[in-house]
Amino acid sequence: MIGAVLQKADGLAEQLQSLTEGVGYLWPEITLVAGLIMVLLFDLIFSNKKEVGLAAISISVLAFLLVAELVFFVPNMQSKDLFTGLITVSSGAALFKIGFTLTAIMALIMAVQSKKYFNEYFSSSEWLISLFGLLLGAFLMTASSNLLMIYISVEVVSISSYLLTGLGKGLKKSEAALKYLLYGAAASAVMLYGMSWLYGLTGSLDINTDTFIVGISSAQPMTLNIALFMVLVGILFKLGAFPLHIWSPDVYEATPTPTVTVFSIVPKLAAVFVLFRLVSSTQSTDFDWTLWLGILAIGGMTIGNFSALWQRNAKRMLAYSSIAHAAFMLTGILLLNRTGIEATVFYGFVYLLMNLTAFYLIQAFENETGTSDYESLKGLGKSMPYISVLLLIVMISLTGLPPVAGFNAKLYLFSAVYDQYSSTGEKILLWVFIFGLLNTVVSLFYYIRIPYLLFFKPDNQTIEGQARFNWNMIWGTLLVLPLFLLFFRSDWFVDLLNSINFVF
Amino acid sequence: MEHLLSYIVFIPLLGAILVLLTPKAYQHLYRVLAIGSTGLTLLLTLFAIKAFDGGLIPQISGEANLQMVEKVEWFSLKLGTLGTMSVDYFMGADGLNISMLLLAAIVLFIGAIACWNVKQKQKAYFSLYLLLSTSVLGCFVALDFFLFYLFFEFMLLPMYFLIGIWGGPRREYAAIKFFLYTLAGSILILIVMIGLYNSVYDPVKTAEVAGLSLTDYSVADIQSMVSEGEIEPDALVKSFNMLNMADSANYIPGSLLDKYGPVATIFGQPARWIAFLAILIGFAIKLPAFPFHTWLPDAHVEAPTPISVVLAGILLKVGGYGLIRTAYAIFPDAAFHYAWLIGFIGMFSIIYGAMNALAQKDLKKLIAFSSVSHMGFVLLGLASMTSEGVSGAIYQMFSHGLISSMLFLVAGVIYDRTHDRMIENYGGLAHQLPKYTVFVGIAFFASLGLPGFSGFVAELFVFLGAFKSASVIGAIPAWMAIVSTLGLVLAAGYYLWTFQKMFLGKFWVKDKKWTSELKDLTIREYLMLVPLVILIIAFGVYPAFLLDLINSGVESFINHLTASI
């Protein structure tokens, strides 16, 4: 196995040189590790009143990282294999990292803004270390082009997620963490087993190499199908997609909102990226990606949407909604073409913005009422009108109605599906198209329920002392504005996507 | 005046923003702002009517002779090998939409006056009302499907809140039912929209991308180059332009909705037929036609008076207009194929709506079902595919917009006073409210199609078209027209019965306390009702005014239909 990894580089000197050269490309990951160590040291050195210091360090490290990522972002950069093919850096991955960093910063800001979480999270370093760990894992997921690297980075994300879920006390939390851990362990075991089959079939772990691609296209179809299904299990688990979604509602409900925000975005998009890679290197095989992902997508959007109808808690509802959204993203991947990938990335980023905003605003309510149950939202439109209107806009966007970006995201995705259908005539595409759009009607019913509770129900509670202006309004507005921008000028972002190199 | 249509559409939006910015301490200004901005819109619309040249014959499948055109590129996306997707900010007026624009401006203004008495949550109410106004107006003038869809969808949200917050006892149910029904319809329209834009290219823009100068090549040259495959697929500019979609030469060869290529099928049916059916259902929900009408009575009964007025007066017309502009103009072949079905649905809606109206006890529900019946005439007229029928359909939309607004206003008058709309709870109101009775009488007689009122002209034209259809074009059989006339008899039945029950005979009300509440019309109510009466009679005795506006458009529309069957 090691021979396979190292066979690219000839002499030791060359190997060393390629290693040192590679390290330079890993500066985002190195920054994260440095931040993690700083947090850890700060926690060890100071004994009390650490909150402000820890918050300042973690936010400034991530802010620095975000700025650096933006400055050094080159859309049309050539993909580059590093560390003898373990890692591939690409501009697509860099774009995703920007999204992840942004999400993590918002999560930190959310935690800082809430008194409860501020004391809980920043008094010691555990939460921050787990968060940085999760981010590091997600970064590596977007960079992995080797089955082992994929496995390791997925595990880094998973272990950090278990820790984040289990932090703190509470029966619900322990239950959710245990569920998550058990499901996750099983899923990754299956994935690892599947990867070992793939290695057995091809003799290579590096999914970009010719050895792998030649090996896989001459593999025995049945064996290959089983192997890829097993790998898919692990990825679907991270994606929170049907049928491996069962853990997510409990975890979402039990976990504090800043953490859920990260859960609902970072691992999902990272899994999407891994799926891009896996699909692109195995699409010419007997495995019918279009059919299987199509079935998963139809199942996911239907199950997600119909389950969301019955929820009585905003966070649980968003958990099911994110299952449906994961299914929509699969829709873009199953097209196996560049238009599909671009539509997925567009959808992914709109989804990132929408979920970030939705959780942010829900926490604004949670800070006042202490819970995210529907019951507690009743009539709050009167005491907190501005935040309520912002939340309404996000819900409209999640449904996919104009004039917000959720509409464009769906439009591009389904245009791509339609186009592929009209040129290939594959039945499954037509079904995905019809199911996807009709599901919008179902989803309206539960998304509109939140504004319904806020505005239609008489207020059984009044929130005192709401300032005319507060930080929630400013951050909320800043988060909602891009949703409008991406509707009215979606071409700006699509032009950027056009120039990005998604070839893996 | 340049950008006239943009001003008309966006002045209410500006009004909404002003309402939002005005502090609560000045909340008495909100209604002034609402009336002011819709009034200004009406004024500008009258300018537009004056500037509109009814003699110019528009080309339904292209931009020739389109008036007051505004066209700016909004955004375009490169889709790699699939070409470019281009969305324009594109508005214009022709004979098919100018009358609808006028109707919308009138009804919105009167609706704004009707909002005068709203007391609770004024800021939200008036800003939503003005948002609704912008989206409705925009819907009628937008000629880019993307823009049209934006306005079309954006109507739902303000309407949902207006019914759901300020409505009657079952408002929440009615609001969500309205939202879900119409959203289901618009998703069907969205499906077709995606299909259409992927199948249609814009020859002018394609020429630009392909580097061909329009001075050397005509549009027809470019179209033939595309159909010969001489222009690479990645140079094609796919457009949302509704007028381009109506020209079958603009379809990309081999695309799913291409008329000339090998017939593509979905579920064993030609793709164009399926697309037409989807869009038909989408707008039939909005119209509403049987069997998609069930949201309407609920929405009407629960909505506050001004919202009922806007709903019946304009929103239903968006359905009819959408059918004309998209379903018929884009898929004339399928429209002809399904003419029988559409005519039958129209006929059935006429009878079914009228029968239901006969059975109602609630005045507003009665009016709601009469709307279903009257909108059936629109479908019948369209299905006939004759110029009389289509003129009649447009005239019916216009006339029903005025009459139903008036009906809901008079229903609102009595509800404002007693908070009860049950027909059986009143008797002999003519003694107590003589002036009100006159207006109710006019509204009822206008609605049942008495000669001299606008409704008569409209229904006459529809029947003329429906009778003639069999011999001229063969779209629908004459018996559909004959059966539909039954609707007139039934309408006379329910209106006269209601009028007799509520207004004639000895004065009686269910609750004695109401007697003191029942005062005759106020100045504000006169202000709303008198202009409507004048308009209803004016369009009844002098139909030429409206017909001159729409004739050339309808003529061209019929030529377009018959040429492409």
Q: pLDDT digits over B17-32, tens only? A: 999 898 888 888 888 9
B175 contact residues in A (CB cutoff 8 A): 456
Please give the span between the terminal C-alpha atoms of chain B, in angstroms, as a whole number.
39
Which contiguous run of DSSP H or E holds residue A82?
strand A80-82
Question: What pLDDT, on a 0 to 100 scale, did the predictor assign at position A151?
Answer: 94
How close does chain B come to A369, measured CA to CA in Å?
23
Check pLDDT > 50 for residue A398: yes
B499: closest CA of chain A, how far (Å): 36
pTM: 0.92
Question: What type of residue is A83?
Answer: F
In the block, tokens 């609902």 appear at: A264
- CA B76-B79-B82 angle, 5° bins: 120
End-to-end C-alpha distance for chain A, whole angstroms: 23
DSSP class per residue in B64-124: TT-EEEEEEEEEEEE-GGG-EEEEEEEEEE-TTTHHHHHHHHHHHHHHHHHGGG--SSHHH
Q: Tell me which of A120 and B15 has the higher pLDDT.
A: B15
Q: Does B232 score more than 60 pLDDT? A: yes
User: What is residue B256's predicted lDDT score, i.e. its pLDDT?
Assistant: 81
pLDDT of residue A247: 87
**What average pLDDT score do residues B551-564 get?**
88
Q: What pLDDT is stored for residue A471 in this prediction? A: 84
Counting DSSP H helices and E strands in chain A, the numbers are: 24, 2
Mean pLDDT over B137-144 rounds to 93
Task: Say if residues B375 and B349 touch (Cβ distance below 8 Å).
Answer: yes
Instruction: Indicate if the pLDDT at residue A502 is higher than 80.
Output: no
CB of A68 closer than 8 Å to CB of A31: yes
Q: What is the pLDDT of residue B95?
A: 87
For residue A416, the distance in angstroms to the closest alpha carbon of chain B comes to 9
Amino acid at B526: Y
Chain centre to alpha carbon of residue B486: 25
Of the candidates A419, A437, A455, the beta carbon closest to that of B82 is on: A419
Lowest-pLDDT range of A31-40, A218-227, B208-217, B340-349: B208-217
The token pair at A19 is: 């290693």
Residue that wins the pLDDT comparison between A47 and A404: A404
Name, in order, each residue with C-beta under 8 angstroms of B303's C-beta and a sequence gap of 6 or more: B162, B163, B167, B168, B171, B174, B311
Is a pLDDT exceeding 50 seen at residue B476?
yes
8 Å CB contact of B75 and A433: no
Q: Do residue A403 and residue B198 have CB atoms under 8 angstroms apart?
A: no
The mean predicted confidence, pLDDT, of chain B is 89
> Per-residue pLDDT averaged across A465-491, rounded?
86
Q: Residue A441: which of B82, B187, B199 has the nearest Cβ?
A: B187
Which tokens sit at A123? 């008094």
Distance (Å) from the alpha carbon of B157 to chain A's nearest alpha carbon: 9
- Residues of chain A with Cβ-Cβ distance to B191 below 8 Å are 433-434, 437
| ipTM, two decimals | 0.89
Mean pLDDT is lowest, of A220-234, B77-91, B183-197, B276-290, for: B77-91
Nearest CA in chain B to A444: B180
Among A437, A452, A488, the residue with its CB nearest the CB of B191 is A437
Give the residue on B whose Cα is nearest the Cα of A401: B153
pLDDT of residue A189 exceeding 90, the answer is yes
Tell me the nearest-neighbour CA distance from A282 into chain B, angstroms: 22
Does the structure show a pLDDT above 60 at A298? yes
Instruction: Please name the residue ranges forming H helices in A80-146.
Output: 91-113, 115-122, 126-143
Binned at pLDDT 50, 70 and 90, residue B535 comes out as very high
- Return mean pLDDT, chain A: 87
Between the alpha carbon of residue A10 and those of residues A7, A13, A148, B48, the distances in Å are: 7, 8, 22, 79
A with B: how many residue pairs have Cβ under 8 Å apart?
A: 86
Count CA atoms within 13 Å of residue B486 on its CB side.
15
Name the residue type at position B459: E
Assign A140 a pLDDT band (cuts: 50, 70, 90).
very high
Between CA B299 and CA B161 the distance in angstroms is 12
- Per-residue confidence (pLDDT) for residue A141, from 0 to 100: 93
Can you tell me the mean pLDDT for B151-155?
A: 92
pLDDT reported for residue B246:
87
Rounded CA gap, B135 and A137, in Å?
Answer: 47
Between B220 and B156, the higher pLDDT residue: B156
What span, in angstroms and rounded, lies between the C-alpha atoms of A246 and A316?
12
Separation between Cα atoms, residue B86 and residue B102, nearest integer Å: 30
Residues of chain B positioned with their CB less than 8 A from the CB of A415 = 85, 194, 197-198
Tokens 């190997």 belong to A15
Closest by Cα among B289, B284, B264 to B274: B264
Closest Cβ opposite residue A418 in set B153, B160, B198: B198
User: For residue A466, what pLDDT is reported?
Assistant: 61
CA of A182, closest CA in chain B: separation in Å?
40
Q: Among the listed ranges A17-21, B45-49, B143-147, which one has the minimum average pLDDT value?
A: A17-21
Radius of gyration of chain B measured on its C-alpha atoms: 24
| Least confident interval from A62-71, A95-104, B117-126 | B117-126
Residue A197 has pLDDT above 70, yes or no: yes
Helix (H, G, I), strand (E, B) or coil at A39: helix
Which residues of A fall within a CB distance of 8 Å from B156?
Answer: 401
Per-residue pLDDT averaged across B322-338, rounded? 91
The answer to whether B75 contacts A401, with C-beta atoms less than 8 Å apart, is: no
Which residue out of A452, A486, A488, A503 would a mutagenesis test of the B interface target, given it has the greatest number of B Cβ atoms within 10 Å? A452
pLDDT (mean) for B321-332: 92
Strand pairing report for B237-239 and B426-427: unpaired
pLDDT digit string, tens, across residues B350-385 = 999 999 999 988 889 999 999 999 999 999 999 999
**Cβ–Cβ below 8 Å for B255 and A418:** no
Reported as a pLDDT band with limits 50, 70 and 90, residue B416 is confident
Hey, what are B308's tokens? 């009922």
Q: What number is the average pLDDT over the span B78-89?
A: 82
| Residue B227 contacts A, CB cutoff 8 Å | no
Alpha carbon A85 to chain centroid distance?
A: 25
pLDDT of residue B401: 93
| Alpha carbon of A441: minimum distance to chain B alpha carbons (Å) | 6
By C-alpha distance, the chain B residue nearest A486 is B75
Confidence category of residue B170, pLDDT binned at 50, 70, 90: confident
- Quick one: pLDDT at residue A467? 59
- Separation of alpha carbons B395 and B453, rounded Å: 12
Interface contact flag, B157 A444, Cβ < 8 Å: no
User: Residue A443: is its pLDDT beyond 50?
Assistant: yes
Higher-scoring residue by pLDDT: A83, B349: B349
Q: With bands split at pLDDT 50, 70 and 90, how would you rate the model's confidence at A460?
A: low
pLDDT of residue B12: 93
| pLDDT for the residue A1 | 46
| Chain-chain contact of B198 with A438 (C-beta, under 8 angstroms) | no
The torsion region of residue B505 among left (phi > 0), alpha (psi -120 to 50) and beta comes to left
Answer whether A329's CB lies under 8 Å from A349's CB. Answer: no
Helices (H), A384-470: 385-399, 405-424, 427-447, 449-451
Q: How far apart are CA B106 and CA A234, in angstroms?
A: 61
- Does B264 contact chain A (CB < 8 Å)? yes
Task: Using the predicted structure, report yes or no on whether residue A252 has a pLDDT greater than 80.
Answer: yes
Check residue A9 and give its pLDDT.
Answer: 46
For chain A, list residues whose CB is within 8 angstroms of any CB belonging to chain B.
Answer: 338-339, 342, 396, 401-403, 407, 411-412, 414-415, 418-419, 421-422, 430, 433-434, 437-438, 440-441, 444-445, 448, 452, 455-456, 488-491, 494-495, 498
List of chain A residues whose C-beta atoms are within 8 Å of the C-beta of residue B194: 411, 414-415, 418
Which residue is closest to A421 within chain B, CA to CA? B256
Give me the residues paired with residue B426 across strands.
B509
User: How many Cβ atoms sit within 10 Å of the Cβ of residue A322?
Assistant: 29
| Whether pLDDT at B10 is above 90 | yes
Residue B143 CA, distance from chain mean position: 15
Q: Does B64 touch chain A (CB under 8 A)?
A: no
d(CA B227, CA B252): 7
Is pLDDT at A504 greater than 80 in this prediction? no
